[in-house]
A and B are shown apart, each in its own frame.
Chain A
Amino acid sequence: MTTATTTYAGTRTRTPVGRRLGRGIGRRLLPGFTALAIGYLLIPIVVMILFSFNDYQGKFNFIWNGFTLKAWEAPLAWPGLPDALKLSLTIAALSTLFATLLGTMIGLALTRYQFRGRGLINGLIFLPMASPEIVLGASLLTLFINISLGAGITPPGLGFLPKTALSLGFTTILIAHIMFNISYVVVTVKARLSGFDRRLEEAAMDLGANEWTTFWKVTFPLIFPGILAAALLAFSLSIDDFVITNFVSGTSLTFPMWVYSVIRNALPAQINVIGSAIFLVAVGGVALATLIQGRAPRFSR
């Protein structure tokens, strides 16, 4: 009894001090650590934006030399840049559209229906995300060359295509981008659908809405934030892709490839300008998505 009391008293005197000390460390250091971590994430972006305003000398925008708006006033003033940017934006828009459409439908099918091979497909969907891009790029190149040259294998069902249909360029880049985007869309849409209350759809049908109306009046508005997030992700993945695109683009140049090609001879501030612009659009998009997500109702009730 006495021993217990002593121990208890001892603990009593020590614990609050230790706790107070811990709390003090936490209060002082946690904000510091947080700032460090966030800074670590943001410094590359800050440097990129900062150097888009650099009045650099020579060809390479590496050394800070004073503020100027020159590059922002003529953001496309490099040979090849407008075409590359246009190609990238077109590919990104189209691949986002198709990948979101297909991915949403796959996501719906995988969460809604019991069918043979569902588990297998669920697993296979992850493969393009998990495979190294260089593997995908190399294999796609091999595939496209085989189809376009009429040599070797032709995938079943594609024999009707004219042999020139898949010559490397716009079409092959688009096909590749849709391919790797679908996985990300499926995963994002499935996450949103997993909490979906099917009784809401039953309620809609009960109130006289057929399958079509039910989808557009109830299902779609409720999963829209998920679809929007998926589309934004797909767009940013597409506009950024270098490795796969480099394999399948033939003579076409997308923006990342153009950057890579000019960087040996010059590093114009326009690259920073375009990069900053894409970043600002992306931030705007994410902010918009967060706003919509935040206002999106929960599923219950």
Chain B
Amino acid sequence: MPILAATGRDRIARSEGGSGSGEEENPARVTDVAVRLVQLTKRFGGDTTGKRVATYVDGAKADDTFLAVDHIDLEVRDGEFFSLLGPSGCGKTTTLRMIGGFEQPTSGLIELKGEDVSWLPAYQRNVNTVFQNYALFPHLTVFENVAFGLRRRKVADADIKQRVGDMLELVELPGYERRKPGQLSGGQAQRVALARALVNKPAVLLLDEPLGALDLKLRKQMQVELKRIQQEVRITFIYVTHDQEEAMTMSDRIAVMNKGKYEQLGDPEVLYERPQTRFVAGFLGVSNLLRATPDGPVDGYAVYRLADATAVRVPQQLVQGESGPVAIGVRPEKIRLSEAKADVAPGLNRLAGVISDASYLGVSTQYIVSLAGGGSVTVYEQNVERATKSELWTAGESVQLTWVPEHSFVVADEGSASNAAQEDLS
């Protein structure tokens, strides 16, 4: 650690001395990439952070180490709303804290607008953070909280007044200048925290589960608000959350993280429609996963056999080259239910089953269907064709399940010991 620290100081000296000349040498580095992470790694423990490992990992001892972030390569584009999504302990917050400068990387690089900031202290990075519990300064007024960053940069008083006023306008809290943080509600404190960060016009705004402490209704409202503000100020947002719905609502792109790496990176639609791993399929929304073995291609379709030898077809281009057992996925709302003996259009995937549970949810009805070949799947049916109690399917009825092959996805079956065909991690 001391050796790394010395190197870090050298780098600070160098980058302070000639950030301008660095750009001349390397004009290609000035791109539309806001943040680039190169093989970014954080290992806790092995030094004074050892105690924290014990709090992160069950049963860990103080001298154990814990790989929180595992060689991440990532590019966040300028002006986008980017989310790091994953369960607790997946490394998303550690990644964010390293970008912010609150955590030193064990190895790897962090570039901000083409400039290496890996070893710069937080106060020399052109990023600002909205903290999980806001971290407003309790001894300062709302005005002084928002003005804090500007005062550090010795902005003229008149200018500060103007910009703080504008910013409070943007977050819809004009007239709150003289309040103390203790006199604000959770939602208001959240807005002040946002204003305090945005007023500095950072290259990137980091948000660490900022809506976690708000109630559901306020959270939904703030999601829309955040998206509006982001589009208004056009600053790159990097948003950390464990709430998949929140990430889907706001993000341009999402990286789904698990165990220190991201498993898939893409638009919300792509992540939902074409998850590439079992984890992503389960973490975003509800997935029905059916274990199957490949049985050769037919007419541009890959054919798979389920446990009871039922054939399921998936377009060849959706297969990622998995060999051996796979899981065929299909989202609950893509499946149509029909009577067991009814004719169905050719070309659809078809399974037989018995309704085992029906829950009326208003906008849709959720059915759990036991498959003839074992396991069960979840089906959501919009309450359009069938809406009243007598029309809905009831438990014990035999049904046919059909879906378009194009609505399937294929993920590697990671030897899950669970023999349930259906997996619902959400």
Contacts and interface: CB of A to CB of B under 8 A. Distances in A.
Interface size class of B (residues with CB under 8 A): 20 to 34
B200 A114 contact: no
Given A218-B137, A297-B182, A298-B138, A207 B148 contact: yes
B121 A204 contact: no
Contact of B131 (A203, A217, A299, A300): A203
A231 B122 CA distance: 33
Given A209-B123, A298-B182, A199 B152 contact: no
Contacts of B329: none
B100 A206 contact: yes
A207 to B, nearest CB: 4
B341 interface: no
B124 to A, nearest CB: 8
B159 to A, nearest CB: 15
A2 to B, nearest CB: 47
B149 interface: yes
Contact of B102 (A202, A297, A299): A202
Interface in A110-149: 113-115
Contact of A205 (B121, B132, B133, B139): B121
A213 B51 CA distance: 29
A197 B135 contact: yes
Contacts, number: 84
Nearest to B199: A207
Interface string A186-223: 00000000000101101111111110010001100110
A213 B129 contact: no
A207 B101 contact: no
How many A residues are at the interface, by size bracket? 20 to 34
Contacts of A200: 135, 137-138
B342 to A, nearest CB: 60
A213 B123 CA distance: 11
Contacts of B180: 297
A27 interface: no
Interface centre among A202, A206, A209, A218 (most CB of B within 10 A): A206
B139 A297 contact: yes
Given A114-B51, A297-B182, A206 B123 contact: yes
B21 interface: no
A301 interface: yes
Contact of A301 (B48, B122, B138): B138
Given A207-B149, A301-B182, A202 B200 contact: no
A301 B153 contact: no
Interface of A: 113-115, 197, 199-200, 202-210, 213, 217-218, 221-222, 296-301
- Smallest CB-CB A-B distances: 6 pairs: A297-B138, A207-B149, A208-B152, A203-B135, A199-B135, A205-B122
